[in-house]
Structure 1
Amino acid sequence: MLKDFNKSMKLYVNHLRNMEAIARDLDYSLGVKKCGDLLNRVEELEFHVAVMGQFKRGKTTILNYFIGKEILPTGVVPITAITTKIKYGNKPQAKIIFQGDLEKSVDINSIGEYISEQKNPENKKKVKQVEVYLPAEVLENGLVLIDTPGIGSTYKHNTEAAYNYLSEANAVILVMSADTPVGEAEIGLLSQVKKYIDKIFFLQNKVDYLSQAEVEESLHFSKEVIAETIGIEPRIYPVSAKLALEGKVQGDFDKINRSGINKFEDTLYRFLLKDKETYLMKSYGNKLIEIVSALYQHLDFKTNILISDIEVIEEKVNAFKNRLQETMSMKKEVQVMVEIELEEIIKSFEKNLEEFKVQQTKNIINKISQAAKGNKHIHSKELSQLLNQRLELEIEKAYNDWNSQQEVVIRQSYEEITSRLRDKLNEVIVEINNITYDLFKTKIVQPVDEFHLIDRDTFYFKFGSSSAPFLTPKLKDFMFVLPRSIRNRKIISDTLNRVDNEIEKNGNNLKWDYTCKIKDSKYIFERTFQEYINSTVDDLMTIIDKTKELKTKEDSHIQKEIEFYQDRKVELRKIEGEIEALEVMV
């Protein structure tokens, strides 16, 4: 099976190189790029399986089990701040790839210095990704396991880094927890995963924390929620990653059996040995056929232009420009409508934020009052530090919990609106294709893909002077001579008075973050679309100008060019037939 797969991949590589040469001969820059991008993927033959899930669900422990060692760091606080790729290598080693593509080899046991949130907070070391190489059997034949940041942790940039990797993964292992029901963050993640990934494995970890009846209840609930999200009932594997890893490290097969990991492991290995190749062959075969079709269309277009009279070409070009200008006005109207809808998202968020601030101000004042009540007799300096820390902790916790819910809602609302914009813009593209087909008997523009809310994170907590003593020097001197009870009452009063201001300030920071994200995402989408149309039109006009130049020469030159196009079509038909024959064998 593996020999047949490798033979098929070599044929795909040869076909892509030939197609790339044809596209280059035709001055078809988009075709050259498509062939080159797919060629890189096919030649690498890597199959990326990303392990994803919420913070502290056991993703890294699962990975450590599969590689057979506790290589990747785990802990009780968020660990993975950087995406880590685990690949096959003859000996254990690690490579750090920094932003700007600078690389550094490090000892495999020191990778925590780069992927730990504690050692590399908010990625201050500017690490792009970490690659770990191990002589593990599971990693042979091109499998790459990916340790992604946990979503829903205190560190919001971890959630965004996990979302960013989705478009690169071929399959996903989604790790959930038996002791915590599937929540909004996981549903939001699953909704995003389904947009990019066809193959998803579901693990329900930490079953050793519950009774058998509780495990069954948890599995039933998770199946219902996931089925509602993706439209089919999933197969969920109940496991104990902790027990499985202990068994692997200790060589205790009884622990491994009791962990429940064996059933999932068998399914994963069967997929890797059999279905992975089928999945890749179908995926790559379909992409090759798409490129062949695009090359056919391009050849037809150039041929039709070549056999037309110059006067007719001039008339068609003028008609094309006029109709294109009319069509692009449709885009402007749609953009105005979308602008209004995006403003509604921001207004809705502001309304929810105001309600949240009112509610949390009351809750946090109550919690600070309770903390003060139990500690009003301690030293004034200690009381000040305790209440300040409690205030910051409660505000961060409240905003983090609320923001994780809001992000799912806003992301979905944004993508519903931009999907309508995409559909409208694709109507513009259809109209442009109709114009070019009417005039030149070819369709030149591809539909626009989905655009998502950008993942840049500018939100951070800011607490003014709350981390330092907040009394002015003169007032501190005055307070020092007063009895402790009076000093402490003043400290408690000042802390309670700060609650509303700190909640307001951090709420405004969060509102600004979302406003920038939404508006910048819309701008990037519109700019990309416009550049795409402009580039396509420029290519079209270049082809027409070159054709007009060629038609000023002798008829023999034109006939020679037509024969060249026909020969390229023969090559493409042969390639197409061989690809289709391979797909029948899959």
Structure 2
Amino acid sequence: MLMMNEKATNFSSFVGYRQLVIDLTTDLKKLKEYGEHLKLENGNMLIEEILKRIANDSFDIAIVGEFKRGKSTLINALLGKDILPTDILPCSATLNRITYNVSPLVKIEYKDGQIEDISIDKLPEYVTKLTDESAKISEKIKEATVYYPINYCRNNVDIIDTPGLNDDKSMTDITLSVLPQVDAAILVIMAQSPFSEYERDFLENKLLTNDLGRVLFVVTGIDRCDEDEVDKVLKSIADRIEKYVLKKAAKTLGEDSEEFAVYRRKLGKPKVFGISAKQALKGKIKGDDELLEKSCFPQFEKELERFLTEDRGAVVLQVPVNRILATSSEILKTIEIQENALAMKKEEFEEKYQEAINEINHLRQKKKEELSRINTSATNAFNHLQPLLDEFWPTLESQSLAIIDNVDIQAEDIKKDNIEYTQQRILSQVSDNAKNIGQNYSERIQIEIEKALDQEAVRLQKFGDEMLASLDRIHNIFVNPTGAPDLMVEGIVSSAIGSFTIPGLAGVWTGYRIAGVKGAFVGGIGGFGGAVGAGAIMALLGIPLVWPAFLAVSIVSVFTGNWLTKAVFKKDGIEAFRAGMREAVLNQFDEMKKQGDFVKNVRQQVNRAFDALKEKIESETETVLNDTQHTLDELKTKIQRENIMTEKEKEELKEIALGVTKIMENASKINQQLISVLDK
């Protein structure tokens, strides 16, 4: 068994992270073998669940930015190969995923579900807008996956090239659809024209809502700046990003709120890197280390790698580590119970057996009560949200009417030839404002749900402690029976449990509270060392994020079509025109209310969150209790048949106990490292 050392626990690189995952997987599989030997079937099911999660673990990086900012060149520089097409015109028209494979090829996935394999040199004919024909083909494509033997992607890293923003609406929608699904996003900005109005809006109203904790900022083209200007440009961009982040947080949390004050204190400097992707690509292709260093690319790559492994891994790896600690404790206690119980007389065991069963039943009753309390907490969480829900529609309507009332309209604007353009101009402002309001309320609702879950976890800590105490009582019932012989594993087990154990729910809550202290606001900005955010708390509990970051209503679809033209076109005079616009917009809001029950959707979202928490409590509790009861029942049968433990069986248990202790030791050291990263 590999004992931990500095090299083994260094997971700030892809290689180190992957080795750590391999070590944890090996330990989990070994515990599963031990569990099978001891017939701990329920615990093994939880291990199997964790192994599946680890097997599917990967890193997805989305490269985003306005068109012609050098996104494809940046990706090619990461890969060290000229793979993705680049051009002076807007180029990418689909999502292009780059993943590792020994043999180079491209798989085209069409929107109708068809799959087509093509050679890499044919890629520009499918995923660009460089010709009319390729533009028509790209419209039918959902995603193109480029398989290539690139070292950077060897460690389960996928890089996603997104279409340029602010090119056309369909391209922007494609990019926005992928953001919630990735582990990190890189926003590419040009040094020569940093922060257009569109980039500012995208950062504040789109990217930040998906978790700034997962965003790196890359300023390309620094080779075209004077050397003494580069630092000034980067500082200016970093300052502006920080300003937008605080503005967003103030709007979402409330400028006078305690949450905003805490958030402001915690906010670190955004990660902004100045690079020359062209120099980096050329340096890698030609093997020119001097040119590569000049591009400032190596520093960016190193931080990206650490960002994806150490920060993210501190949360992701907490789940398998907690499972190892919990299962190890259960196995060691089971071994000690077995050896002690089989050394007892039948009457003594019967008495202790009944005492243990009573303790199990008591714990099950307590669990039932806790599940009922979680239901009550879910109802209270929803009721707490009610004032926010009540003000949503009035806010949406009043702000929309204010736009209509205050917009500048001249007599010329409502003449027959101009009126449709005027309507669309005003409608665009109303629509953009409505989308921002909807997004803001969605984020505030999500934050309140997360806060309610956090409070529930604090409350459930008491149950976690009671469960731990109850399991200890069951264990102690069978320790040191009258007249017991010298037991081979007793010293091993007692030492291990005393030193390393974080069993079951206790381990879960420990991880939860570490994350909770560092918990993030505004979609996770600044949380967990800046690497992960929304949903990371639940990830620590091993609960999948079952609710989306949602917009309450589909505002965009409501403001499309020609309904407004028909509704307002015949209104004469500026005030009559305004009145017509107000009436038409309010009517559409009424339609929106009918199409989707906003309050019902929020209630469902709250229930999903708390139901996931209940499922975790149920599974964690019943896993231990079922395996414990099964062990006791098996022992009861053996004792009634007057079976005794053979020397061979004792030796096997001793071997298992020693193996589990080493695994526990290993996991305990890793756990301390994960905690130190989370607690930065």
TM-score by length of 2: 0.62
What's 2:608 paired with? 524
Alignment of 1:20-35 (within 5 A): 20-23=32-35, 25=37, 26-27=40-41, 28=43, 29-35=45-51
Give yes or no for the alignment of 1:50 onto 2:62: yes
CA contact (8 A) 1:204 1:237 kept: yes
What's 1:573 paired with? 661
What's 2:557 paired with? 461
> What is the CA distance between 1:436 and its match in structure 2?
2.0
Give yes or no for the alignment of 1:298 onto 2:298: no
C-alpha offsets along residues 139-180 of structure 1, whole Å, 9 cap, x if unaligned? 5665432235788995796576334224xx2x5423346133
1:552 counterpart SS class: helix
> What is the CA distance between 1:439 and its match in structure 2?
2.0
What's 1:482 paired with? none
> What is the CA distance between 1:10 and its match in structure 2?
5.5
RMSD of equivalent CA atoms: 5.4
> What is the CA distance between 1:338 and its match in structure 2?
1.0
CA contact (8 A) 2:547 2:609 kept: no
What's 1:108 paired with? 123
> What is the CA distance between 1:435 and its match in structure 2?
2.8
Moved more, 25-34 or 260-269: 260-269
Alignment of 1:179-578 (within 5 A): 179-180=195-196, 183=200, 186=203, 189-190=207-208, 192-193=210-211, 197=214, 201-204=216-219, 215=233, 218-219=236-237, 221-222=239-240, 224-225=242-243, 231-238=267-274, 244=278, 263-271=295-303, 289-300=321-332, 302=334, 307=341, 309-363=352-406, 366-367=408-409, 370-373=412-415, 376=416, 383=417, 387-388=419-420, 390-392=422-424, 394-404=426-436, 406-407=438-439, 409-441=440-472, 443-445=503-505, 446-447=508-509, 449-450=537-538, 454-455=548-549, 459=554, 460-462=556-558, 466=562, 470=566, 498-508=580-590, 512=596, 515=599, 517-555=601-639, 559=645, 566-576=654-664
CA contact (8 A) 1:203 1:236 kept: yes
Give yes or no for the alignment of 1:18 onto 2:33: no
Residue type matched to 1:202 in 2? F
> What is the CA distance between 1:202 and its match in structure 2?
2.2
Residue type matched to 1:87 in 2? T
Residue type matched to 1:345 in 2? L
CA contact (8 A) 1:88 1:133 kept: yes
1:174 counterpart SS class: strand
C-alpha offsets along residues 103-152 of structure 1, whole Å, 9 cap, x if unaligned? 543552354389x9x9699x997x4x542224667556654322357889
1:531 counterpart SS class: helix
1:68 counterpart SS class: coil
- What is the distance in 1 between the residues matched to 2:112 and 2:613? 27
> What is the CA distance between 1:312 and its match in structure 2?
0.8
> What is the CA distance between 1:53 and its match in structure 2?
5.6
CA contact (8 A) 1:368 1:387 kept: no
Unaligned runs of 5+ in 1: 377-382, 472-486
What's 2:186 paired with? 173
CA contact (8 A) 2:61 2:186 kept: yes
Rate the CA distance shift 1:97–1:70 in 2: closer, same or farther, 3 A: closer
> What is the CA distance between 1:353 and its match in structure 2?
0.7
2:145 counterpart SS class: strand
What's 2:494 paired with? none
2:637 counterpart SS class: coil
> What is the CA distance between 1:525 and its match in structure 2?
0.9
Moved more, 149-158 or 87-96: 149-158
Residue type matched to 1:417 in 2? E
Rate the CA distance shift 1:402–1:157 in 2: closer, same or farther, 3 A: same
- What is the distance in 2 between the residues matched to 1:295 and 1:187? 44
Residue type matched to 1:219 in 2? I
Residue type matched to 1:105 in 2? D
> What is the CA distance between 1:69 and its match in structure 2?
4.9
Rate the CA distance shift 1:401–1:141 in 2: closer, same or farther, 3 A: same
- What is the distance in 1 between the residues matched to 2:14 and 2:365? 56
CA contact (8 A) 2:108 2:116 kept: yes
C-alpha offsets along residues 487-545 of structure 1, whole Å, 9 cap, x if unaligned? 99869999766422442244456664854553332121122223333334443453254
Unaligned runs of 5+ in 2: 1-6, 8-12, 247-263, 342-348, 476-502, 513-536, 539-544, 675-680
Rate the CA distance shift 1:30–1:453 in 2: closer, same or farther, 3 A: closer
Rate the CA distance shift 1:87–1:325 in 2: closer, same or farther, 3 A: closer
1:179 counterpart SS class: coil
Indicate the percent of aligned positions where both proteins have the same amino acid.
14
CA contact (8 A) 2:63 2:162 kept: yes
Give yes or no for the alignment of 1:68 onto 2:82: yes
> What is the CA distance between 1:265 and its match in structure 2?
1.5
- What is the distance in 1 between the residues matched to 2:423 and 2:366? 62
1:232 counterpart SS class: coil
What's 2:53 paired with? 37
Moved more, 428-437 or 157-166: 157-166
2:557 counterpart SS class: coil
CA contact (8 A) 1:97 1:130 kept: yes
C-alpha offsets along residues 337-372 of structure 1, whole Å, 9 cap, x if unaligned? 2112222222232232122121122256x4585533
C-alpha offsets along residues 391-434 of structure 1, whole Å, 9 cap, x if unaligned? 24542453235423641x32442233122221233235323322
Rate the CA distance shift 1:23–1:124 in 2: closer, same or farther, 3 A: farther
CA contact (8 A) 2:106 2:146 kept: yes
Residue type matched to 2:51 in 1? C
Residue type matched to 2:611 in 1? R
1:94 counterpart SS class: strand
> What is the CA distance between 1:463 and its match in structure 2?
5.8
TM-score by length of 1: 0.70
Residue type matched to 2:323 in 1? I
- What is the distance in 2 between the residues matched to 1:206 and 1:349? 44
CA contact (8 A) 1:52 1:148 kept: yes
What's 2:146 paired with? 132
How many residues end up aligned between the 2 structures? Answer: 536
Residue type matched to 1:232 in 2? G
- What is the distance in 1 between the residues matched to 2:320 and 2:234? 45
- What is the distance in 1 between the residues matched to 2:268 and 2:210? 16
1:461 counterpart SS class: helix
- What is the distance in 1 between the residues matched to 2:441 and 2:600? 13
1:454 counterpart SS class: coil
